Amino acid sequence: MSTTQVHQSDIEAGLHTVGLGHGDLVFVHSSLSAFGHVVGGADTVIDALLAVVGSEGTAVVPTFTWDRFHDERGAVFNIANTPSEVGAITETFRLRPDARRSSHICHSVAAIGPKAEAVMGDGVRPFGKGSTFEQLVRLDSWYLFLGVGFEVCTALHHVEEMQQVPYRYYRDFRKSVVVFPDGRRRPSRAVEYLRRDGYRNDLARAGPVLADAGVLRTTEVGDATVTNIRMRDIIEIIGRRVETDPYFLVTR
């Protein structure tokens, strides 16, 4: 077990080192345990993130519920009460009073800041047209990794969906319901973009390509590697690779 102690000031310094600053929009993948011992836990990481982007910035985290719902035909997704499956930081983040959460059954996000509404998406496609990820590209978001790598890079699914890769297909969530924080219940309009049998993603392949392109900003905070990149760089550089090789992000 790591004995490294990490404080909010350490995290803030690391975020500044990788280019994050006041007024920025940033999407964050995270692992609390990767840092070592964070004094104050998940709240400390969130406080550091919000302090760096400031009152004019917006932070976004995945609050996915894939394991719970992706096989369900009659899912009930309660925006306020269904927990995130993507780690302690995301669950703590979504429970903050000023957090807004989107309505896609499997791939919701939570956001805090003035652009929270703009990144909610329409709750239909998980990664493509009308999704949070399309909005993040349009708004020139940073894409931040705290103690995790490109193996969890959901932005790469945006590449897959926008390019309509041959190993995925759509299915809907018929009979599924979204419960909004005010108690309203609405039929879900969500679809999922599923891999066909015989394929699995190998998203980590994107890391070396982006490193070679010189677009990654990286530092260490405690025991964690912190990496930051513009989302547009992920989409443009890996998008060109997938255009050449549609199966670049999967193995058979």
Residue 2 has a pLDDT of: 67
Neighbours of 82 (CB within 10 A): 20
Cα–Cα distance, 74 to 76 (Å, whole number):
7
What is the predicted pLDDT for the residue at 174?
84
Grade residue 70 by pLDDT with cuts at 50, 70 and 90: confident
pLDDT digits (tens, 9 = 90+) for 35-54: 999 999 999 999 999 999 99
User: By the 8 A CB rule, do 186 and 178 touch?
Assistant: yes
41: left (phi over 0), alpha (psi -120 to 50) or beta: left
**What value does the mean pLDDT of the chain take?**
96
Give the whole-number percent of the chain exceeding pLDDT 70.
99
pLDDT at 1: 58
Please give the model's pTM, rounded to 2 decimal places.
Answer: 0.96
In the structure encoding, which two tokens stand for residue 153, read together? 């890079």
pLDDT tens-digit map of 145-197: 999 999 999 999 999 999 999 999 999 888 899 999 999 999 999 999 999 99
Q: What is the pLDDT of residues 71-103, one digit of tens each?
A: 887 899 999 999 999 999 999 999 999 999 999
Q: Above 80 in pLDDT, residue 3?
A: no
Domain ranges of the chain: 5-244
Q: Average of pLDDT values for 5-29? A: 98
User: Who's near 155: CB < 8 A, 6+ residues apart?
Assistant: 27, 133, 136, 143, 231, 234, 235
Q: Which whole number is the average pLDDT over 107-115?
A: 98
